[in-house]
Chains A and B, each alone.
Chain A
Amino acid sequence: MISIKLENVTFIRNNRKIIDNVSLEFPPGKTSVIIGPSGCGKSTLLKITAGLIPPTSGKVYVDGVNLLTMNRTELLDFRKKSGFVFQDAALWANKSVYENMILPLQVHFPGMDTDEKDKKIRSMLKAVGYTDSLLLRPAQLSNGERKMVSLARALVISPVLLYMDTPLTLVDPSVSAKMERLILDLHSSDNTIISNFTDPSLTKRISDFAAVMKDGRVISTGTIAEITDNKNSETRDTVSAVLYHQNSNSV
């Protein structure tokens, strides 16, 4: 189980503070969800937490080690244990579905037998519900298929830490149900999941821990019950808008 901790993280882009002095600890082996209205900085915070974007200031700790000062071996070890599902899938456009899947395996399991890699790729794509040709390029796939392959690519290395940036958006209901089941399976295991689901019902069902964001700040943390019953009106308004759609500003 991996623990992730943010300490005074600030991120400024084009003189605009996107993330404002966030300190946060995600419980290991649990599913944590970042909640907040659109444009509040959820995706950016997720990427900073995963070490994909360096913060302007502050630190990100993975099991007590600063992610930003890790050496190459430590970083590769961290990547081997973690997967990231991107909001827009971010599949490598010049590679086929199969090549998208095999590259992480080649990096992290160079000694793995080709047949074993092949078996792993096919079973993972089947698990997410992808049934089309493995030779297609991302441009030839539908949005839903891209999301499926993106999830499969993140899971193919069997990570124990999974970051998901709105994994179920743009996916049709049948595919969404399949992917949701897979996410629930991951949730019931000891994996650490950090995500920002847009589906309120999934958020309520899956989250062990939630962080509420507004204007780049984390305004509250706790379980769904705790943040829903929070006495702070700003937290209550944000949570009811996002999870209970009681405001037109909701996600």
Chain B
Amino acid sequence: MLGRLGRWFIDYVKGIFYALGFFFKVIKASMPFFRGRQIGKKVLTMQILFTGFEALNIIALIAMALGAVIIIQGVSLLPQFGQGELTFPILITIITRELGPLLCAFIIIARSGTAIATELGHNVVSHEIEAYIASGIDPISYLAAPRFLGVTLSILLLNLYFNFFGLIGSFFITQLIEPVQATDYFRKLLSYLRLEDIASSTLKSLTFGIIISLSSLYYGFKVEQASTEVPQMVIKAVGASFVFSIIADAVITLIYYTR
């Protein structure tokens, strides 16, 4: 019993070091992309296309819906407590600082995190990874690094896009309830937007991008032999992405409020 516990602990610690080594290798392999010396540029472009460009519609829809809901609730509830002027700060807090980055992360986990883990898992099972190695192509540089950069960059841009459409959505709903001049509306709205809000939002989406891409890559490569391992690893990738993103969100929010 004690021996089994000891073995489990040793394997657990080994697993942590292996994961840390993997993350370090991916980050190191991503550096040459900034110097433009990689054959995986096409993989990077495709990843941005898939994670960023193809998610534009759903992000816009969710952002506009969220902006609209906040305005509807804010306009109907807050004046009852004499706090009607809080509508804009709440809009900024939710869209820019809190839910915007997190919802973007959830969408990316569902769309790209699962896709990356599944594709890499199948690559392992069908010996395609071994074929890359045999051809002198480092799978970390060619497959992992462009996906890591593609997902992280995409989520950063999607967060800006989410903000834009969230605030636009709120404006359209306001027009239906109580028409105001666009310039007046946005001047007032942006007067509540502070640099700290933008910094917090950007830091969150950057962190989520790193977490989602590394988790998906790690579990994708963790598949060993059977295709039945692929869905198991995808579930683990999704679970890890959600858990670590939520923890990171809580930590960054805590730092924001306690600084």
Question: Does B127 make an interface contact (CB < 8 A)?
Answer: yes
Please tell me if the beta carbons of A93 and B134 are within 8 angstroms of each other in the complex.
no
CB of B131 within 8 A of chain A? Answer: yes
Contact with A along B176-191 (1 / 0, CB 8 A): 0000000000000000
Q: Are B127 and A86 in contact (CB under 8 A)?
A: yes
A76, A94, A106, A153: the one within 8 Å of B39 (CB): A106
How many Å lie between the Cα of A47 and that of B133 in the bound state? Answer: 11
Binary interface encoding of chain A residues 75-108 relative to chain B, with 1 for a CB under 8 A from any of its CBs, else 0: 1100110111010101111100000000110111
Task: Give the contacting residue for B134; candidates A52, A76, A91, A106; CB below 8 A.
Answer: A52
A83 touches B137 (CB 8 A): no
- The count of residues in chain B whose C-beta lies closer than 8 Å to any C-beta of chain A is 15
In the complex, whether B98 has a CB less than 8 A from a CB of chain A is no
Q: Is the CB of B134 within 8 A of A84?
A: yes
* Most B CB within 10 A of own CB, among A51, A83, A84, A90: A90
Contact assessment for A50 and B137 in the assembled complex, using a CB-CB cutoff below 8 Å: no
CB within 8 Å of A: which of B94-131?
Answer: 119, 122-123, 126-128, 130-131
Q: Which of B174-228 contact A (CB under 8 A)?
A: none
Pairwise interchain contact A50-B136, C-beta atoms closer than 8 A = no
Least Cβ distance of B107 to chain A in Å?
Answer: 23
Q: Which of A49-74 contact B (CB under 8 A)?
A: 50-53
Give complex CA distance A88, B127 in Å. Answer: 8
- Give min CB distance, A72 to chain B, whole Å: 8
Flag if B130 contacts A90 (CB, 8 Å).
yes
Q: A84-B131, A91-B131 are in contact. Are A108 and B126 (CB under 8 A)?
A: no
Q: Which of under 10, 10 to 19, 20 to 34, or 35 or more describes the interface residues of A?
A: 20 to 34
Min CB–CB distance A92 → chain B (angstroms): 5
Interface residues of A in 35-56 (CB under 8 A from B): 47, 50-53
Q: Are A86 and B130 in contact (CB under 8 A)?
A: yes
Query: How far is B149's CA from A72's CA once the two chains are assembled, in angstroms?
Result: 22
Asked if B130 contacts A47 (CB within 8 A), the reply is: yes
Distance of A91 Cα from B123 Cα, bound (Å): 10
Q: Which residues of chain A (174-224) have a CB below 8 Å from chain B? A: none
Number of A-B contacts (CB under 8 A): 53
Interface flag for B76 (CB, 8 Å): no
Taken together as a complex, chains A and B put the C-alpha atoms of A103 and B134 apart, in Å, by 12
- Chain B residues in 8 Å Cβ range of A82: 134
Q: Which secondary structure dominates where chain B touches chain A?
A: helix
| Contact of B126 with A80 in the complex, beta carbons under 8 Å | no
Considering only CB atoms, which chain A residue lies closest to B119 in the complex? A94
Once A106-B39, A107-B39 are accepted as A-B contacts, the answer to whether A79 and B134 lie under 8 Å apart by CB is: yes
Q: Is B135 an interface residue, CB under 8 A from the partner? A: yes
Residues in A neighbouring B119, C-beta threshold 8 A: 94
Within B125-153, which residues are at the interface with A (CB < 8 Å)? 126-128, 130-137
Name the B residues within 8 Å of A83 (CB-CB).
134
Q: Which of A47, A76, A93, A94 contacts B136 (CB 8 A)?
A: A76
- The answer to whether B131 and A92 have CB atoms under 8 Å apart is yes
Cα–Cα distance between A39 and B39 once the two chains are bound (Å): 37
Residues of B within 8 A of A88 (CB): 126-127
Q: Tell me, in angstroms, the Cα distance from A103 to B126 when the chains sit together.
A: 18
- Given the interface contacts A106-B39, A107-B39, does A90 sit within 8 Å of B128 by beta carbon? yes
Q: How far is the CB of A170 from chain B (nearest CB, A)?
A: 15
Chain A residues with Cβ under 8 A from B128's Cβ? Answer: 90-93
Q: Mark A221-237, 1 if CB is under 8 A from B, else 0.
A: 00000000000000000
In the complex, what's the smallest C-beta–C-beta distance from B43 to chain A, in angstroms? 10
Contacts of B130 in A (CB 8 A): 47, 52-53, 84, 86, 90
Q: Which of B123, B127, B132 has the most chain A CB within a 10 Å cutoff?
A: B127
- Do B135 and A103 have beta carbons less than 8 Å apart? yes
With contacts A90-B128, A107-B39 known, is A80 near B136, CB below 8 A? yes
Can you spell out 11 A-B residue pairs with CB atoms less than 8 angstroms apart?
A50-B134, A51-B133, A79-B136, A84-B134, A86-B130, A88-B126, A90-B130, A94-B119, A104-B135, A104-B136, A106-B39
Identify 9 new A-B residue pairs, CB closer than 8 A, beyond the known A52-B133, A107-B137: A47-B130, A53-B130, A75-B136, A83-B134, A86-B130, A94-B119, A107-B135, A107-B136, A153-B135
The 4 closest A-B pairs by CB, nearest first: A79-B136, A84-B134, A90-B127, A90-B131
